[in-house]
């Protein structure tokens, strides 16, 4: 089924937007479509898409979307 994921590291678009100080989750979905280097989700469920925060955090820092 894939690599085990720590449930405490799972984030959806709303959590990502909140942690990055964004007003809307639509930015997250835009990034996913527009940036081929945006992290791949670990799960796609009927309720939404899930990523791990460490992957998102790394990408956000590397692309200047999250300061040190």
Task: Give the model's pLDDT for residue 1.
Answer: 59
For residue 57, the model assigns a pLDDT of 97
Q: Which residues, 6 or more positions from 23, have their beta carbon under 8 angstroms from its beta carbon?
A: 17
| pLDDT of amino acid 67 | 81
> Which segments in the chain show pLDDT lower than 50?
none
- Write down the domain spans for the chain: 8-62
**DSSP letter at 36?**
T
pLDDT at res. 3: 75
Query: How would you list the strands of the sheet with 43-45, edge to edge?
Result: 10-11, 48-52, 43-45
- CATH T-level assignment (fold) for domain 8-62: Multidrug-efflux Transporter Regulator; Chain: A; Domain 2 (1.10.1660)
pLDDT of residue 68: 65
pLDDT at 4: 85
């Amino acid at each position: 089924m894939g690599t085990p994921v720590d449930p405490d590291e799972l984030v959806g678009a709303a959590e990502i937007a909140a942690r990055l100080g964004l007003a809307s989750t639509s930015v997250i979905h835009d990034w996913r479509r527009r940036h081929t280097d945006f992290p791949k989700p670990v799960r796609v469920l009927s309720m939404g898409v899930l990523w791990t925060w460490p992957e998102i955090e790394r990408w956000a820092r590397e692309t200047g979307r999250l300061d040190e």
